[in-house]
Every structure is written in C-alpha cells, then in structure tokens.
C-alpha cells in the first residue's frame, strides 16, 4: 500500500497545498509551527476518519474558513483508491472512497492500516485508563469490524443505562424490568469485547516484549497485562450485585469500560518507577508491536508516521528505528523533524529512496 499524493484545503494552517510522495521515505522539515505535524495528522485522518491530536472536527478547519478537505490517492493491491475526508461547520463530517460516501465511518476503519509514533504517546503512560483502552480498541478494531460494532453498541447502551439511573434518582422511582434490558445488552456486548481483549493481549504481549528487547538493548524485564473486572465474574452478575452502588452514584461502576492496561518494568509500574529512557523505549516498542500486529492481520504493510521523533530520542535510537525500513521491509515511512540535515543524514544511511519537504 502506498500514499501517492495528498491535497489539503483549509486544513489547520494549510490554505491549499499538494504533496507528491516517494514510495518509501518522506521527510517534512522546518521550524516549529510550520505545519509538519499537521501533514502527518492529515494522513492519519485519511486512515481513521479523525485527527490524532484534536478529535474536535471544527477545530481542524483553518481559522476564518467554513470547511476543510483532505484528499489522498493511494495504490492498494494494484488498484487506485481515492479517499476524501471533508467537514463543514454545522454539518456532519463526510468520508468518501472513490466518490462514494460511507454510511458509517466504522466501515472505513482498517482499510488503510497506519501507525503513528509521536511525543504525545506519553499520554498512554501518564493519563488514565481511558487512554490505554482507546489504544487497545484502536488496534483490535483495525482488523475486527465486529469488535468495533460491539464496542459502539456497548457505549450506546452504557449511556442509556447511566441516563436511566439518573432518571431514577431525579424522580425517586425505579423500574427493574427496564434496567434488566440494558443489563442483558451490556452483558452480551461486554462479554464478547472482554474475550477479544483477552485474545489480543495474549497475541500482542510477546510481540511487544520482543520489540522492547531489540530497541532498549537491555535485559530489563517489561510486561503488558490486562486488568478487568470480568476476569473473575460475569458482567451480568456484577451489574446485579452492585445495583445499590450504581443507584447511589447514578453511574454504572462495573463493566469493560473500567478495563485497563498495565505497563510494567521489573515488576513495577513504568509510570512511577520507569526512567524517561525506559518510558520512551517502551512506547516505541508498543507502537512497533502495533505495526507488527496490524501487518499480520491485514497482510500488508501499514503506513508508519514518525512525528517529531528526534524530540524524545537520541539520533542513534532514531537511526535504529529508520534502519528497520531496510532490515524488515517496512512500508511507506513519513518523518517530521526540525533539522533537515539531521534527518537527511539518518535516511541516507538506508538503501531506500527518500524525499525531503521543507515547510
């Protein structure tokens, strides 16, 4: 799979711009604030239907304008594929493939596998469980449409159940039959999601450990574990046993929306006890493991975005990552950096074609 060109219209700081890409390595260089990351985010937008850095659609429209358009032309399985993402203030975002709009955005997820590595990935370590669940869900959903459908359905039912609990409290009333309907639906969707998350971690964790060992050049023991209330109890039982707590808090306190991923080094949480170097290495390993996982699922090379990678890693570590393009037959690579000479020196070391874009 290859992104051949990209056109931006009123997207973030770009009024109108078109890029023609190299089939292997593409580097965006320039001072901070010129839009390097915005180009990578536009490519991400074409794969996921949303921004990686700002999920609020209207905030991605150029200041003073009413709409944005992102257009990408790909070659995939020897076929031309044109993807267009557009949004207008006050209207719903539209994603089109070869001129035909998707009825559901979820139908597009997984069609253009992509992985981004960015300094903002540190949120996976320092932020709450919701950030780590979104990462896990994003990886699984790329190759499992049923999982994504169940996840969307679960979230909708959860919102309805929480609204019902608030209604009961506000009106000093209660209806067990109505609540049972939501509980049964949550149990059905939640059990399926839990089982697929278990299977994912079982497959994903060994890939992560292997990547970390190579990237860190160390013998440190890291681990990725999955924590869930459903490990020991059925969701339907948890919902029924803790009904009084839910009525008091007016919120569903048990379910797969409480799941978390535990990142550990030497048996301790990386967030508290890992050095900056260990945290960086773990995150890079996590994202490269995501690449490996998606590659195995989709049977094709995902696009890899390296955003401001020199900001968090030394040049030797970056060179090691770029060398993977040579050693492991990675697909198309996009890099952003503030120093053109530094970036070009690294990419020149690999025997692949490349293109520099000065912004």
Contact, 120 vs 51, CB < 8 A? no
Residue 298: closest CA among 129, 148, 110, 153? 110
Tell me the backbone φ, ψ of residue 262, rounded to 5 degrees.
-105, 120
Residues in the chain, overall count: 359
Give the tokens for residue 247: 């009525």
Cα distance between residue 221 and residue 180, in whole Å = 45
Contact, 291 vs 316, CB < 8 A? no
Tell me the backbone φ, ψ of residue 140, rounded to 5 degrees.
-65, -45
- Tell me how crowded residue 123 is: count the other CB atoms within 10 A of its CB: 15
Contact, 207 vs 288, CB < 8 A? no
Q: Is 0.95 topped by the overall pTM?
A: no
- Tell me how crowded residue 294 is: count the other CB atoms within 10 A of its CB: 19
Cα distance between residue 102 and residue 228, in whole Å = 34
The maximal CA–CA distance of the chain, rounded, in angstroms, is: 71
Residue 110: closest CA among 78, 149, 69, 145? 145
Which residue blocks in 49-144 are alpha helix, DSSP H?
123-126, 129-143
Cα distance between residue 306 and residue 115, in whole Å = 9
Can you tell me whether residue 346 is helix, strand or coil? Answer: helix
Residue 232 DSSP label: T
**Share in percent of the chain as helix, strand, coil (round to 5):** 50, 25, 25
Cα distance between residue 270 and residue 122, in whole Å = 11
- Tell me how crowded residue 221 is: count the other CB atoms within 10 A of its CB: 12
Contact, 322 vs 11, CB < 8 A? no
Q: From start to end of the chain, where are the E strands?
A: 2-11, 14-20, 25-29, 67-76, 79-88, 94-97, 100-101, 114-117, 222-227, 260-265, 268-269, 303-306, 333-337, 354-358
Contact, 46 vs 29, CB < 8 A? no
**Per-residue model confidence as pLDDT tens for the chain (359 residues):** 999 999 999 999 999 999 999 998 999 999 888 999 999 999 999 999 999 999 899 999 999 999 999 999 999 999 999 999 999 999 999 999 999 999 999 899 999 999 999 988 999 999 999 999 999 999 999 889 999 999 999 999 999 999 999 999 999 999 999 999 999 999 999 999 999 999 999 999 999 999 898 877 766 789 999 999 999 999 999 999 999 999 999 999 999 999 999 999 888 999 998 888 788 889 989 999 999 999 998 888 899 999 987 766 666 666 667 776 666 667 899 999 888 888 888 888 877 889 999 98
Q: Domains, the chain, ranges and CATH?
A: 1-113+300-359 (3.40.50.300), 127-298 (1.20.1050.90)
Can you tell me whether residue 218 is helix, strand or coil? Answer: coil
Can you tell me whether residue 268 is helix, strand or coil? Answer: strand
Give the tokens for residue 292: 């490996």
């Amino acid at each position: 799979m290859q992104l051949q060109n990209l056109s931006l219209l009123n997207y973030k700081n770009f009024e109108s711009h078109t890029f023609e890409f190299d089939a292997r390595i593409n580097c965006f260089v320039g001072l901070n604030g010129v839009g390097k990351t915005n180009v990578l985010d536009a490519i991400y937008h074409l794969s996921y239907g949303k921004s990686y850095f700002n999920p609020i659609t209207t905030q991605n429209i150029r200041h003073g304008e009413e709409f944005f358009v992102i257009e990408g032309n790909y070659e995939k399985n020897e076929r031309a594929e044109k993807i267009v993402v557009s949004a207008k203030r006050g209207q719903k975002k539209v994603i089109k493939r070869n001129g035909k709009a998707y009825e559901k955005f979820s139908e597009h997820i997984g069609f253009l596998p992509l992985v981004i590595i960015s300094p903002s990935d540190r949120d996976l370590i320092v932020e709450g469980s919701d950030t780590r669940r979104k990462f896990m869900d994003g990886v699984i959903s790329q190759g499992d449409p049923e999982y994504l459908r169940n996840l969307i359905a679960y979230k909708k039912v959860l919102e309805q159940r929480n609204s019902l609990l608030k209604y009961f409290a506000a009106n000093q009333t209660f209806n067990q039959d109505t609540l049972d309907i939501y509980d049964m639906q949550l149990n059905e969707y939640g059990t399926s999601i839990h089982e697929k998350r278990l299977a994912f971690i079982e497959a994903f964790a060994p890939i992560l450990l292997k990547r970390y060992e190579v990237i860190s050049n160390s013998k440190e023991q890291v681990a990725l574990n999955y924590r869930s209330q459903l490990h020991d109890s059925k969701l339907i039982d948890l919902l029924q046993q803790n009904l009084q707590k839910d009525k008091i808090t007016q919120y569903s306190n048990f379910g797969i929306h409480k799941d978390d991923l535990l990142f550990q080094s030497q048996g301790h949480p990386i967030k508290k006890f890992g050095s900056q170097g260990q945290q960086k290495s773990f995150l890079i390993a996590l994202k490269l493991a995501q690449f490996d996982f998606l590659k195995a699922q989709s049977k094709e090379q995902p696009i890899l975005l390296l955003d401001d990678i020199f900001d968090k890693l030394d040049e030797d570590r970056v060179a090691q990552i770029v060398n993977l393009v040579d050693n492991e037959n990675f697909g198309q690579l996009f890099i952003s950096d503030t120093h053109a000479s530094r970036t070009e020196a690294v990419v020149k070391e690999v025997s692949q074609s490349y293109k520099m874009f000065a912004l």
